[in-house]
Structure 1
Amino acid sequence: MITLSRRCCYQGWQSVWRHSYRQQHTPSGTSRRPINKLLIANRGEIACRVMRTARRMGVRTVAVFSDADRHALHVDMADEAYHIGPAPSQESYLRGEKILQVARAAGAQAVHPGYGFLSENVEFAEMCAQEGVIFVGPPAPAIRDMGIKSTSKQIMSDANVPIVGGYHGDDQSNERLRQEADKIGFPVMIKAVRGGGGKGMRIVMQTEDFESQLESARREAIKSFGDDVMMVEKYVQRPRHVEVQIFGDHHNNYVYLFERDCSVQRRHQKIIEEAPAPGLTWEVRRSLGEAAVRAGRAVGYVGAGTVEFILDESHNFYFMEMNTRLQVEHPVSEMITNTDLVEWQLKVAAGERLPLLQDDIKLSGHSFEARIYAEDPKGGFLPGAGPLQHLSTPEPDAHIRIETGVRQGDEVSVHYDPMIAKLVVWGHDRTHALNVLTAALTQYNIVGVNTNVDFLLSLATHPSFKTGDVNTDFIPAHQHQLFAECIPSHQLYCQAALALELSREHDVMMMCAGSRDPTSPFYPATTPALNHTVCRTISLACEGQEEAVHVHYLGGGKYRMGVGGGSYDVSGHLVPHNDTLLLTAAVDATITRSKVVRDHHHLHIFTQNGGWKMSLAVAKFEKELGGGSGVAGSAVAPMPGVIEKVVVAPGQVVAAGDPLVVMIAMKMEYVIKAGHAGVVEKVLFTPGESVAKNTTLVKMKETVNDN
């Protein structure tokens, strides 16, 4: 009875608090607060996306930027832009007081936080209210209630929203958490109570791994949220991650805009999303939506929010968490409902009613969103950074939408999330939308950093994905097929050699056209002699496979090429287009069309089956001038990042697999482990220092086993 009484008192106090907050800090139905100037307290693609809608609505925009973003796209798009600090987000985009100073100086009536950074920061929402600045998001009490997972679970349970049981208690000792995990039964999920975006989250399959995973989750949670309080829940195996887009206004109107399936993930982060979720009956769809609306009503929610559920194989669903912000994947909901959720956000924040009520919202077609990242799927999806030397995309139209914050020549920064863009497509049904997605992915061509584009293409064309048979274990379950070894064909080597030959001929013709010296070998009159009975060998390497292509010029634009013991008749033409070459190649009886980009000693060929990187032979003197990165036997940084913790000291003996250094890169924690047993000779960096990819972090001397 005492526990029940306390719960009722807590709920009553929360209800009074939320009602009082809304009365004091939200516009009334008759007294609207128009938004004429909007500050976007974020960066990258979400800042650009908000600005596009604001511009269409006639709202002027204000950008903020760090040192790293001085020349970023969102800065160029805004009507005004203000510098707010150094590159690390803790010193710039997370400084709420600095952002509000900019809002006052610029005369902005409202702040849109985007997602991430300050979007779910209750203190920032309260600061905005105190300053009389409209926070384009939910009331602070709703953020507070939903931001603490243990609190949100209780509120949802009381609102008759199904939840997964677990431990959400105050005793945070390692021993108590482990005891509770044993009671629940492995596998379990460790989650930061203030978590989101996969940060501070670990799946533990067996008891002996619990403590190390707990410590890792705590470190990551402190870095991301400044709070290391954890909860432990039963991990539902083979679950689907299904979330519902909801919206509320200040007039007690609530709607849901159907659901999204975000099951296919890596590193506990979404990689491809779709709406609506495949395979659901209308009864389940309606039940999900109504449960999500009950969740919103329970906390007096206002604005755009997402209620996330776990869906088991029987289509039973359980509340997981509520994201009190606009989600990264919101475009798929917009595509199937023909809405602009940012426009809805701005209208609701200004005190207007929802543009549509539930019966007005219709589901039309199917939509996918593929997140394009600078990362290495074959290297464990390690994030990358660097310049976008070449960037070309499919042409946006009624079926294709591209959300991005970068252009060719921009750099993916080590300080922020490595997402390059979101490729969003729509089709009349799921099959049509999937066809549009796969075709668009082949046209998304990037040179300069490793990307997941080809991996997304493998996902989208996988037989199980095509039938909608998805769950959060999809990638591990289909590991061998998704990461199957790709061996370049002899025909591909012929295409590469043809591109090099035609490119060289084009360069010669350009020199001929510009020559005015009749004695020059490049004078136009001499050109018929060029390529006469030419025979050359071109050495190329791709995916670890080296081949020598023997090229014989036969005249008339035709070649005979020998590679791998085979002989092929090859012809074609090359059309220069900006910084690319459009190649049409006929190899024997097969004609293919591809895009070619030359990058120093590499030739990038983008085909209908994905991209290939061909390495050209490098002169011996260039190899000698080069030099490897790292030191043999030493631990190196697998990506650019910042040293978070050094675990070892000089003279320490370590075994293979022992942790050496903890790095933070792209807001994620990575543990660098010893590749072999040995003795630490020297630790080269200290916590807080930034390091480049392949930088030697710890020098080690390998232990020699005399036996």
Structure 2
Amino acid sequence: MIRRLLVANRGEIARRIFATCRSLGIETVAVHSAPDADAPYVAEADLAVRLPGAAPVDTYLRVDRLVAAARRTGADAVHPGYGFLAEHAGFASAVGDAGLTWVGPPAGAIAAMGDKTEAKALLADAGVPMLPTYTAADRVEAFPVMVKAAAGGGGRGMRIVRDRADLADAIESARREAAAAFGDGTVFVEPYVERARHVEVQVVADAHGTVLCLGERECSIQRRHQKIVEEAPSVAVTPALRAGLQSAAVAATRAVGYLGVGTVEFLLTPAGEFHFLEMNTRLQVEHAVTECVTGTDLVRLQLLVAEGGRLPATAPPVTGHAIEVRLCAEDPAADWLPASGTLHRFAVPGVTVEFGTDPGRDRGLRLDSGVRDGSVVGVHYDSMVAKLIAWAPTRDEAARALAGALRRAELHGVATNRDLLVRVLRSAEFVAGEIDTAFLDRNPGVFVPLLPPDRVGLAGLAAALAGAAERRATAPVLGTLPSGWRNVPSAPQTIGYAGPTGPVRVCGSQDHLVAVEIDYRLDRSGTLLSWAARPIHPGQPDTGQPDAGQPATGQPHSDRRPDTAQPDPDRQPEVLLVAAEPSRTVLTVDGVRQLFAVHRVGGVSFVDGPDGSVALTELPRYAEPAPVLTEGTLLAPMPGTVGRILVTAGQRVDAGEPLLVLEAMKLEHPVTAPTAGVVTELPVTAGAQVETGAVLAVVTPEQPATVPGPEQPDAAAPGPG
């Protein structure tokens, strides 16, 4: 019997495993790096051991330090979680050699499935359907193809190639990424199936010969070949197809002598054929949807098998539908740029359970997170901060509940993919079940923020009024006077906010919004008399007036156009102030009462309204002059490590040509030339740590050649005659 368990992982999965351990009376041990010292999972463990350093290679990937931590704390078992060393045969062997119980499959099974080329050969002999595999580029006969890391997972080391001319570069790039992520740069190539689905079967096996299949999961909606939306069961799987998938999954499980919980992943073609992708010899990130539709605690089954126990003779039935989304710290609209910083508020409404199913309910909302208010999202680890799962009797109900909870969540301080996830769940194709691995490529509309562009001004007004209320509430003198009160009012109150980037419309403008300025005037009783919002653009002088042709204030009711008229997108809405408090503003907008929650942190106002959310940074009234940057200067968009540098100073480059690679959150982010020109500055070196805003390179644009005009007569020459 396991008495004390060390979890060789971090964040959300560590908390998930601890939750089951507490219910079973098993003591827990956490390990943590320096950045994770204050993480929630560390506080929840019975014991904790610090691993010196910050980077994974110094901490969560150090077999010797993890085994030493188990011995030091008296742990008698080790659970690897997922990621890091979860599928490392050497770690499993080291745990066993130390006399500890390994909560996972045998090292031999991990090794057999760890090399995907060898795994495919082994399972093909067991009768599992396969796509052809090529280990040499010259053997590839048809395109498109997918380059994959033989020891990879999580989307790293994968490239789609549609033309032979690009194959060699894709293979080399995949090798570098795979070597950095897994310590093994071996890659292979297989045909890429257009509009394929990613379907996987959850298996669990014990030492007494029982292998159970706990249904299948649909994991087709992916970004950069990484799953972001998963569900169970799959709407594309018929009973006959389900039987075939489960038969192949059982064959694969038995062929490698597997024990414990694992996942056999398949590619489902539009024609209904399926092919083996890989076997994950660990608990999956998306295991929660299976738990919700089967009422089964998969971590408990892992512990049961590790202790030598017997599984039930039959698998539990699948009931209802569950959908999971991965909430990540990243900006989908900026090519999935990862985000870091302090998560000032993390609140999801309607959560019924954390880290487990809720027995006796046919619907609910589950949250598995590794963060809380005040958590710091760093650059050393994966960008996922939480998983949100809804389950209900039907797929439509689960999707609607999940989208609603996401939209109302308060996520302040770090950019996330929340808006994209909501739009995916509400899209017509998703609702109809018409999804595949290219879903995001076909649906650019899901990248648009939830907050309509023409509502940013209202959010700014709500923030300004809440800020004024806060200043009144904390005023040391004359606190009863309304904000901005004057004996003889001569000008409205004015406040500027740095706004979101993108095609934002404020007062009819369709330009790239850099900042928005809000004007408002209150009378002596606190009634809002007028308001206006106008964009501030780079290089554009502030005239103090709204955009030409736009009303400076909301129009009175008597001047409103009839309801039968066509809506005017440039019209400033009429706004009445109902209430303004430091944490909320209530407005009536064109006759509709609306609540805006406002959370101020320093100079930033996080506004959550009925249409969406936005972060607005208050601009100083008298700003310091910004440093003048040379044209063509490229700044680091995030903290990270400079990886490969692909150019040298003085080199001519074309627009879009890669200059260097910035590594952050376990992914490579290429930095490309904004225009054709010459690399005149390259102040960074490979391996250097850089902060946001650091100068990475300067590309001086090429000067257009001077085209001589038509020859003119010499002014000094005498004219004819």
TM-score of the alignment, normalized to the shorter chain, above 0.5: yes
Contact 2:484–2:493, Cα closer than 8 Å, also in 1: no
Q: Which residue of 1 aligns with 2:5?
A: 38
1:448 corresponds to which of 400, 407, 413: 413
Residue 264 of structure 1, CA deviation:
0.5
More off after superposition, 384-393 vs 526-535 = 526-535
Partner SS state of residue 309, structure 1:
strand
2:384 corresponds to which of 416, 419, 430: 419
Change (3 A) 1:453 1:491: closer
Is 1:201 the counterpart of 2:165 in the alignment? no
1:277 corresponds to which of 213, 234, 241: 234
2:293 corresponds to which of 309, 332, 336: 336
Q: Which residue identity is paired with 2:379?
A: V
Q: Which residue of 1 aligns with 2:645?
A: 646
Q: Which residue of 2 aligns with 1:619?
A: 621
| 1:86-101 superposed matches below 5 A | 86-101=53-68
- State the distance in 2 between where 1:53 and 1:486 align: 36
- State the distance in 1 between where 2:132 and 2:488 align: 77
Q: Which residue identity is paired with 2:313?
A: L
- State the distance in 1 between where 2:668 and 2:484 align: 61
Change (3 A) 1:331 1:80: same
More off after superposition, 67-76 vs 191-200 = 67-76
TM-score, scaled relative to structure 1: 0.87
1:180 corresponds to which of 121, 136, 139: 139
Is 1:104 the counterpart of 2:74 in the alignment? no
1:141 corresponds to which of 108, 114, 118: 108
Contact 1:539–1:549, Cα closer than 8 Å, also in 2: yes
- State the distance in 1 between where 2:323 and 2:430 align: 12
- State the distance in 1 between where 2:157 and 2:663 align: 13
Q: Which residue identity is paired with 1:265?
A: Q
- State the distance in 2 between where 1:353 and 1:574 align: 62
Change (3 A) 1:353 1:486: closer
Residue 538 of structure 1, CA deviation:
4.5
| 1:692-707 superposed matches below 5 A | 692-707=691-706
Q: Which residue of 1 aligns with 2:28?
A: 61
Partner SS state of residue 259, structure 1:
strand
Is 1:536 the counterpart of 2:538 in the alignment? no
More off after superposition, 482-491 vs 203-212 = 482-491
Residue 340 of structure 1, CA deviation:
0.9
Q: Which residue of 1 aligns with 2:593?
A: 591
Q: Which residue of 2 aligns with 1:244?
A: 201
Q: Which residue identity is paired with 1:446?
A: L
- State the distance in 1 between where 2:452 and 2:196 align: 36
Is 1:459 the counterpart of 2:459 in the alignment? no
- State the distance in 1 between where 2:291 and 2:450 align: 36
More helix, by proportion: 1
1:106-149 CA-to-partner distances (Å, cap 9, x unmatched) read: 11111000001110001111111212211111011111111111
- State the distance in 1 between where 2:394 and 2:474 align: 49
Contact 2:465–2:585, Cα closer than 8 Å, also in 1: no
- State the distance in 2 between where 1:363 and 1:598 align: 45
Contact 1:532–1:553, Cα closer than 8 Å, also in 2: no
Q: Which residue of 1 aligns with 2:667?
A: 668
- State the distance in 2 between where 1:203 and 1:248 align: 34
1:409 corresponds to which of 363, 374, 389: 374
Residue 596 of structure 1, CA deviation:
1.7
Contact 2:452–2:611, Cα closer than 8 Å, also in 1: no
Q: Percent identical across equivalent pairs?
A: 38
More off after superposition, 298-307 vs 498-507 = 498-507
- State the distance in 1 between where 2:483 and 2:689 align: 57
Aligned length: 645
Q: Which residue of 2 aligns with 1:373?
A: 328
1:18-38 CA-to-partner distances (Å, cap 9, x unmatched) read: xxxxxxxxxxxxxxxx10000
- State the distance in 2 between where 1:221 and 1:291 align: 28
1:622-667 CA-to-partner distances (Å, cap 9, x unmatched) read: 242x547x75313332322112222222232323233221222111
Partner SS state of residue 263, structure 1:
strand
Change (3 A) 1:582 1:340: farther
Is 1:571 the counterpart of 2:577 in the alignment? yes
Change (3 A) 1:503 1:179: same
| 1:218-617 superposed matches below 5 A | 218-354=175-311, 356-358=312-314, 360-397=315-352, 399-479=364-444, 481-484=445-448, 488=452, 493-511=457-475, 520-522=477-479, 535-539=492-496, 541-542=499-500, 543=504, 544-545=512-513, 549-553=518-522, 558-563=527-532, 564-565=550-551, 566-567=554-555, 568-574=574-580, 581-617=583-619
Residue 65 of structure 1, CA deviation:
1.0
Q: Which residue identity is paired with 2:138?
A: Q
Q: Which residue identity is paired with 2:119?
A: S
Contact 1:38–1:110, Cα closer than 8 Å, also in 2: yes
Q: Which residue of 1 aligns with 2:124?
A: 157
1:282-336 CA-to-partner distances (Å, cap 9, x unmatched) read: 2222221222121111111111101110011122111100110000111011001
- State the distance in 2 between where 1:274 and 1:533 align: 63
- State the distance in 2 between where 1:530 and 1:291 align: 76
Contact 2:343–2:412, Cα closer than 8 Å, also in 1: yes
- State the distance in 2 between where 1:66 and 1:486 align: 36
1:81-118 CA-to-partner distances (Å, cap 9, x unmatched) read: 11122111111111111111111111111100000111
Change (3 A) 1:594 1:615: same
Contact 1:533–1:554, Cα closer than 8 Å, also in 2: no
Contact 1:180–1:232, Cα closer than 8 Å, also in 2: no
Q: Which residue identity is paired with 1:379?
A: A
- State the distance in 2 between where 1:635 and 1:503 align: 35
Residue 562 of structure 1, CA deviation:
4.1
- State the distance in 2 between where 1:167 and 1:528 align: 71
Residue 584 of structure 1, CA deviation:
3.1
TM-score, scaled relative to structure 2: 0.85
Unaligned runs of 5+ in 1: 1-33, 169-176
- State the distance in 2 between where 1:595 and 1:210 align: 51
Change (3 A) 1:459 1:528: closer
- State the distance in 2 between where 1:46 and 1:389 align: 22
Q: Which residue identity is paired with 2:620?
A: V
Residue 196 of structure 1, CA deviation:
0.6
Q: Which residue identity is paired with 1:679?
A: V
Residue 73 of structure 1, CA deviation:
1.5
Residue 537 of structure 1, CA deviation:
4.2
Change (3 A) 1:290 1:561: farther
Contact 1:491–1:587, Cα closer than 8 Å, also in 2: no
Residue 571 of structure 1, CA deviation:
2.2
Q: Which residue of 2 aligns with 1:122?
A: 89
Change (3 A) 1:448 1:529: closer
| 1:44-83 superposed matches below 5 A | 44-83=11-50
Partner SS state of residue 407, structure 1:
coil
Contact 1:96–1:124, Cα closer than 8 Å, also in 2: yes
Change (3 A) 1:699 1:438: same
Residue 348 of structure 1, CA deviation:
0.9
More off after superposition, 287-296 vs 120-129 = 287-296
More off after superposition, 372-381 vs 552-561 = 552-561
Q: Which residue of 2 aligns with 1:24?
A: none
- State the distance in 2 between where 1:315 and 1:223 align: 36
1:185-216 CA-to-partner distances (Å, cap 9, x unmatched) read: 11000111111111111110111111111111
- State the distance in 2 between where 1:371 and 1:69 align: 20
Contact 1:199–1:220, Cα closer than 8 Å, also in 2: yes
Contact 2:131–2:190, Cα closer than 8 Å, also in 1: yes
Contact 1:583–1:594, Cα closer than 8 Å, also in 2: yes
